[in-house]
Amino acid sequence: MTEIRPASDELRAAVARRLKARNAAERRFQLYGRIAIAVALGFLLLLLGRIVQQGWSTFVDYRLTAQVYVDPARIDPADPGGANYDLMIAEQLLKRIGVADDEYGARSDAMKALLSGDLGFQVLDRVKADPSVIGKTLTLSAPLKADAGLYFKGQITRATPEDERPLTSEQLDWLDRLNAGGLVKSEFNTTFLTRSDSTEPEQAGVLGAVVGSALMLLLTAALAIPIGVLAATYLEEFAPKNRWTDMVEVNINNLAAVPSIVYGLLGLAVFINWMNVPRSSPLVGG
């Protein structure tokens, strides 16, 4: 029978040293992990902070509210679309702030560059809907041009040399006069949430993108969930184990590793180039 000898003092000391070193290494590992998580969270907070700092002004809108006289001398009731409503509004605003136009109309063009084209379309729509408004004064409201809005948001300043900013000092003076006259007010930018994409930044919104993404996700779920769940259930529970099911499972695993851009290019070729589905259709993305 083998005799079990008690551990010597040296052996117990060696075991204690190894255990102590092991515990110390584990504590260091935990510390390194906490430091890594803290650094990652710090960068995430920094990123979110920069996004908020740079993007919060998107939800602030500077709108111009003005009374516009629909001049009958410049509008043909038989062809209301032929009038230059933007120029008419710009000239009236120049007079409102006490600025005379030059003989070439350059100041009117410069004022037009501060105003959203939505103002002119509003007058056109009102005239088409009711020609009797010709000769009357309308109260209109629309966002300022994007560059004019950036001036009020402090992103365009007079400290910048005039040749390095999109607005001249004269245009900045006009904006200050419009603001002092109570024609410009800041408010929540509902346009950003209620309109779709536009070539004019001040008229652009995310509604089209949100609706399109929602429709695409619904279509994707309607196709992928039943087909994927039923196929997986059949393969796991009912399909016989043979070379065909093995081939299907291998192909599924291979396809799962294919980058999604490949499927995007395939959808581009099939749905848009071959089937001529409209590019904006959620079916293409789904």
pTM for the structure as a whole: 0.72
CA 258 to chain centre: 28
pLDDT in tens, 76-131: 888 888 889 999 999 999 999 998 888 888 999 999 999 998 999 999 999 999 99
* CA 100 – CA 118 distance, rounded (Å): 24
The pLDDT, as a whole number, for residue 78 is 85
* CA 230 – CA 221 distance, rounded (Å): 13
Greater confidence (148 vs 280) lies with 148
* CA 17 – CA 59 distance, rounded (Å): 63
Whether residue 192 contacts residue 210, with contact meaning beta carbons closer than 8 Å, is answered with: no
Place of tokens 């993108």: 209
> What is the average pLDDT score of the chain?
88
**Per-domain boundaries in the chain:** 13-48, 59-203, 207-285
pLDDT in tens, 161-212: 998 999 999 999 999 999 999 999 999 988 888 888 888 888 888 898 888 8
What letter would DSSP give residue 131? G
Place of tokens 């005799």: 3
* CA 224 – CA 226 distance, rounded (Å): 6
* CA 148 – CA 142 distance, rounded (Å): 12
* CA 153 – CA 164 distance, rounded (Å): 18
